Amino acid sequence: MKKKDLIAKIKATAIEEMPEVLKKIDITKANIEDVPETIRSPFNFRKAVSYSFASLFILVTGITVFNFIAWGNDTTPLETDTEIVGFQTISAASLLEAFDVIELSQTESTYNIMQLSDLTTAVDDTTIIDQISLVNNYLNMAETVLVDENQYLYEDVESDDTAYSYSFRYNGTDLMGNLISYRGYYNIIEQDGYQMEIGILIHDEDNYTYSTVVEDNDGVLTYRYRISLSAQNYVEVINSSTEKVQQFTYRVYKNSELFNQSEVSLVRNRTSLKAQIKITNRYNQEIDLEVERDMSIMENQRFRVNYKITENQSSTEAQGQFTVGLQFNDTTGKYEYRYQINDQEIVIEDRPNKGNQKATEDDFTPGRGSNNPFVTTAIYTEESTEESHSNRHNANSGTGNSQNLLEDTATLNI
């Protein structure tokens, strides 16, 4: 029996058998217990003074750090090894989820297109509309990982699974402000003389496996992560960052064949976090997206996207803007992406279910990290930790050569 059917059957049977006791409960007969007494400790002058000084110190430090961050130049948003590795694995998993959920169940022609008004004219060409199904997969990924710095957390945590030595978690928010959580577990093993990470990623009911893939080209080692739903369906992600740009290359494989490729770059300036996504489609067209997330209204966020489509890296086929928000479909009981293109047309696309519980400040408050070791990290983090540095030295002497894997790939710039 399929998982979905099994869950539906258990749920339906249980609900059918559930006794209805509301009318049998007479709460007027309940004897409400008294309010528990709280004992207040006496005022302690010394403690109060020490708290005041501690608060002042934290305030001054906070302002200094804020100024340093807010008024600096454009920055690369991912800083620690956990953030860099976590970003790669989680973004790839969400991309894999989108391709698996949406692409397999939908052809390019099944989306709904609605005119805002019969009086408005349609966009000059439908080039971008033809690509929305493909673009939608990347917007799904962006919804998971393109989040304002105060609304995400990558954190090393102690592994609570004896099968794995290390663990990390990711908390982010979807466009409704709901919490999106991933938990990763991994071991570092040695195989064929190379160190590599092997682990799992858990997101709600979905499990992904991931591992480091090592290529030895005449002694030059290159590393990438492979995040898999099955042996045939997976995404490979390559960290092709330079010292100035955080950039990742994604390759989506279906039935063991390369299905789609893209490049993503991330940039944060003083006001916003942006992703530049360059997707190559099956017709060898290049779709460039500049994606910015508007988080000013937490419960109704949206993406603003500038797009450009070029043919064979030469003439521009189409360019413009669209916005993407969510709307609830009463029939399916799910949220959908609502694309408004060049202020004229609306396209509705599927969206995999994400969180449904509002995120709180606590979800983005780090605990004490355990400084997990990782086999591969980015070029610009070579001095980030001694521990990861030594691992990289052992296993990843070829990170600077990851550029030679960039051909026929896509990049995501955040």
> Which residues contact other proteins (rule: CB under 8 A)?
1, 3, 6-7, 9-11, 13-15, 17-19, 21-22, 24-25, 27-36, 159-161, 167, 179, 181, 183, 185, 202, 204-205, 207, 356-357
Residue 123 CB, shortest distance to other proteins, in Å, is 40
Nearer to other proteins, 133 or 144 (CB): 144
Residue 194 CB, shortest distance to other proteins, in Å, is 27
Residue 42 CB, shortest distance to other proteins, in Å, is 23
Distance separating alpha carbons of residues 308 and 285, to the nearest angstrom: 10
Distance separating alpha carbons of residues 131 and 285, to the nearest angstrom: 10
Q: At what angle do helices 127-145 and 81-102 cross, to 10 degrees?
A: 140
Which residues lie closer than 8 Å to 172 by C-beta, 6 or more apart?
A: 144, 145, 147, 151, 152, 153, 179, 180
Distance separating alpha carbons of residues 148 and 145, to the nearest angstrom: 9
Question: For tokens 């709180």, what's the residue?
Answer: 360
Nearer to other proteins, 24 or 282 (CB): 24
DSSP 361: G
Nearer to other proteins, 32 or 119 (CB): 32
Nearer to other proteins, 11 or 47 (CB): 11
DSSP bridge pairs for 213: 224
Nearer to other proteins, 32 or 39 (CB): 32
Which tokens is 341 given? Answer: 């293109």
Residue 105 CB, shortest distance to other proteins, in Å, is 21
Residue 62 CB, shortest distance to other proteins, in Å, is 24
Nearer to other proteins, 300 or 356 (CB): 356
User: How buried is 275 (Cβ within 10 angstroms: 0-12 exposed, 13-18 middle, 19+ buried)?
Assistant: buried
342 Rama sector, left if φ>0, alpha if ψ -120 to 50, beta otherwise: left
Residue 303 CB, shortest distance to other proteins, in Å, is 25
DSSP 342: T
Amino acid identity of residue 375, one-letter, is V
Residue 4 CB, shortest distance to other proteins, in Å, is 11
Nearer to other proteins, 15 or 231 (CB): 15
Nearer to other proteins, 15 or 104 (CB): 15
Which residues lie closer than 8 Å to 259 by C-beta, 6 or more apart?
A: 99, 103, 252, 253
Residue 10 CB, shortest distance to other proteins, in Å, is 5
Residue 76 CB, shortest distance to other proteins, in Å, is 29
Distance separating alpha carbons of residues 371 and 39, to the nearest angstrom: 40
Which tokens is 157 given? Answer: 């945590």
Cα→Cα distances 338→94, 125, 210, 341, 351, Å: 19, 19, 32, 10, 10
Nearer to other proteins, 9 or 393 (CB): 9
Look at residues 98, 376, 144 and name the one whose alpha carbon lies nearest to residue 239: 376
Which tokens is 315 given? Answer: 């003439």
